[in-house]
């Protein structure tokens, strides 16, 4: 009995794999640089960049306020390019910009902020990149617009003037 069971179950497994690969091939595998989602933000505890304090997500995100979570790194060239836009956005009273420093060293990140300015209200320090995974990020830079502990919109890749204007309009 056992002898027959194994081959058939294996064949069954392989057929499933086949179907999944087949379907996966049909999907267009192009990342959409912007996505509307209405999902709760992940719960996590993380180290803060400046104070080394471990905090919970609820301590960073107030449900009555708009936030832009920006994933960045000093080694990431597009992050440098979008940084001036974040500086502009930081002046807006209606929204707080929160940084998530991704796979970086504190020394390099500090130099980066000293050179280009610090737009961030708070910075979550994600040395090994695991916090970014919880957010479902693909890479750097990436930004999440958050309100009421929900991700309203997700921007993959560097921000541009158009997105900033749109965000400002949204948070008014």
Partner 1 sequence: MLYSVIGYYSLILGLCFGLILIFFSVKNFQNSKFDTKILSFTFLQFFFVVISFLCLVVSFILSDFSNETVFNNSHTTKPLFYKIAGTWGNHEGSLLLWLFVLTLFILIFLIKSKNQPTKYKILTLVFQQIIIIGFFVFLIKTSNPFNFLFPTPEEGLGLNPILQDPALAIHPPILYLGYVGSSIIFSSALAATSLNLITKSWATHIKKWILVSWIFLTLGILLGSIWAYYELGWGGFWFWDPVENVSLMPWLALTTLLHCILVLEKKLILTSWVIILSISTFTLSMCGTFLVRSGILNSVHTFANDPERGLFILVFLFSLIFISLFIFFFFHKNNKNNPTSFFWLSKETSIIINNWFMMYFLSVVLIGTVYPIFLDVLSSQKISVGPPFYHKLIIPFLIPFLLMMAIGPKLKWVKSNLNNKIYLIILLIISILLSFLIVKNFDTNFLLNTILISSAIYLFFITLRDFFNKKYTNISQNISHFGFSVLILSILLNNLFSTEIITNLKVGENFKFENTKIIFENINQKEEKNYRSIIGNFTIQNSDGKIENMSPELRIYNQPNIVTSEADIKTTLVSDTFIVINLVQNQDYFNIRYQVKPFMIWIWLSVILISFGGLISLMKKDYEK
| Binding span for partner 1 by CB under 8 A among 63-71, 128-136, 143-151, 164-172 | 128-136
Query: C-beta of 62: minimal distance to partner 1 in Å?
Result: 28
Q: Specify the residue for token string 């400046």.
A: 50
Question: Binding to partner 1 by residue 160, rule CB under 8 A?
Answer: no
End-to-end CA distance of the chain: 69
Chain centroid offset of residue 10 CA: 38
Query: C-beta of 93: minimal distance to partner 1 in Å?
Result: 28
Question: Binding to partner 1 by residue 56, rule CB under 8 A?
Answer: no
**Rounded CA gap, 40 and 11, in Å?**
39
Interface residue with partner 1, options 45, 81, 88, 160 (CB under 8 A): 81
Measuring CA to CA, which residue among 160, 162, 151, 101 is closest to residue 126?
Answer: 101
Question: Binding to partner 1 by residue 31, rule CB under 8 A?
Answer: yes
Question: Binding to partner 1 by residue 129, rule CB under 8 A?
Answer: yes
With CB under 8 A, what is the number of residues at the site for partner 1? 37
Interface residue with partner 1, options 12, 20, 54, 94 (CB under 8 A): 20
**If you ran DSSP here, which 8-state letter would residue 164 be given?**
H
> Which residues in 60-79 contact partner 1 (CB under 8 A)?
74-75, 77
Interface residue with partner 1, options 1, 5, 21, 93 (CB under 8 A): 21
Interface residue with partner 1, options 22, 38, 40, 64 (CB under 8 A): 22
Using CA atoms of 7, 11, 13, 16 in order, give the dihedral in degrees to the nearest 10: -170
**Rounded CA gap, 105 and 81, in Å?**
20
CA dist 80 to 93, 116, 150, 162, Å? Answer: 23, 8, 27, 17
Residue 152 contacts by C-beta under 8 Å, 6 or more apart in sequence?
Answer: 36, 37, 38, 145, 146, 170
Site residues (vs partner 1, CB under 8 A): 3, 6-7, 10-11, 14, 18, 20-27, 29, 31, 74-75, 77, 80-81, 105, 107-108, 111-112, 115-116, 128-130, 133, 136-139
């Amino acid at each position: 009995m056992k002898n027959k069971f194994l081959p058939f179950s294996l064949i069954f497994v392989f057929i499933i794999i086949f179907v999944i690969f087949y379907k996966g091939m049909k999907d267009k595998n192009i990342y959409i640089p912007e996505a509307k989602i209405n999902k709760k933000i992940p719960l996590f505890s993380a180290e803060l960049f400046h104070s080394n304090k471990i905090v919970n997500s609820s301590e960073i995100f107030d449900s009555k306020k708009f936030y832009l979570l920006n994933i960045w790194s000093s080694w990431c060239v597009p992050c440098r390019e979008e940084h001036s836009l974040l500086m502009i956005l930081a002046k807006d009273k209606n929204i707080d910009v929160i940084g998530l420093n991704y796979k970086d060293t504190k020394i390099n990140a500090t130099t980066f902020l000293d050179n280009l300015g610090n737009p961030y209200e708070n910075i979550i320090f994600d040395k090994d990149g695991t916090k970014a995974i919880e957010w479902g990020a693909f890479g750097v830079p990436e930004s999440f617009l958050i309100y009421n502990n929900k991700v309203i919109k997700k921007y993959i890749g560097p921000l541009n003037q158009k997105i900033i204007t749109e965000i400002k309009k949204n948070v008014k």
